[in-house]
Structure 1
């Protein structure tokens, strides 16, 4: 895990961060000439201290769900629970919420 600290706040550079406007920032894997992490967004690059100063506070976004995690959640146990009636199907949820209109 690569981290970088600003004003006592430690940033895990493997995470994606959102600024106050909802723009997502990820580490590009590169460093500036000053040794600061170079962050990337759809519109370009900026050092992490500059992102923190001009666009902060930065909020770490939840980590992406992996395929393995999805299979664990929706695996045989989930399907058995659904078949036993303990967990509703997407169709039954739609019927309750939308009156059967999907």
Structure 2
């Protein structure tokens, strides 16, 4: 967790942030000359220091980044061997409904 304090609010720079219009902002890993974290967005436009992004586009709502989980070798071997079941078969096996 990389924390940055702005206006008595802690920002976890390892998170993404969503502004009020739905634009996603994330820390670029860089810092402004004033020592402020630089944020880039998924919209067009320049990177901004966090205080500027917060002022012009805030509030910035934290959103955890999605992690990519690499399947284990055993799981991949199972798929290659053809041990795959349909949703219906899985539901029948566990005695539930999907």
- State whether TM-score is above 0.5: yes
The aligned residue for residue 49 of structure 2 is: 47
**CA RMSD after TM alignment:** 2.4
Runs of 4+ in 1 over 6 A off after TM superposition: none
- Output one character per residue of 1:9-52: Cα deviation in whole Å (capped at 9) or x when no partner: 10000100000100000000000000000100132200000011
- Structure 1: stretches of 5+ with no match in the other structure: 72-78, 89-102
Question: What TM-score, normalized to structure 2?
Answer: 0.69
Q: Does 2:29 align with 1:8?
A: no
Higher RCO (C-alpha under 8 Å, 6+ residues apart): 2
Question: What TM-score, normalized to structure 1?
Answer: 0.67
- C-alpha distance in 2 between matches for 1:67 and 1:48: 29
User: Relative to total residues, which structure has the larger helix share, 1 or 2?
Assistant: 1
- C-alpha distance in 1 between matches for 2:13 and 2:59: 15
